[in-house]
Amino acid sequence: MDQQYIFNFKTDIYNIPITSKLNNPFSIGVSQIARIAATEFQVFISNESKNWTYDFDIKRGKMFGVLVIQQRDNTYAYLGTVSGKLSRTVSCDQFIPSVFDDAVGDYFMNRGMTKLTEISDQIKMTTDPIKLALLKEKREKHSIALQRRLFENYNFSNLSGNSKNLIEIFEQCNHGNPASGAGECAAPKLLQYAITHDLKPIALAEFWWGNSMKNEERQHKMFYPACRDKCRPILEFMLEDDLLYERRVGV
What is the DSSP secondary-structure string of 154-185?
-EEE-TTS-EEEHHHHHHHTT--SPPTTTT-S
pTM beyond 0.85: the answer is yes
Per-residue pLDDT of the chain (251 residues; tens, 9 = 90+): 678 999 999 999 999 999 888 999 998 899 999 999 999 999 999 999 888 877 777 778 899 999 999 999 999 999 999 999 887 777 789 999 999 888 777 778 899 999 999 999 999 999 999 999 999 999 999 999 999 999 999 999 999 999 999 999 998 877 678 888 899 999 999 999 999 999 999 999 999 998 876 666 788 899 999 988 889 999 999 998 754 434 433 33
Contact 159, 195 (CB under 8 A): yes
All residues at 6 or more sequence positions from 247 whose CB lies less than 8 Å from its CB, including other chains:
24
* Strand, helix or coil for residue 209: strand
User: E-assigned strands of 3-141?
Assistant: 7-8, 62-70, 76-82
Residues making up the chain, counted from first to last: 251
What backbone torsions phi and psi does residue 154 show, to the nearest 5 degrees?
-100, 100
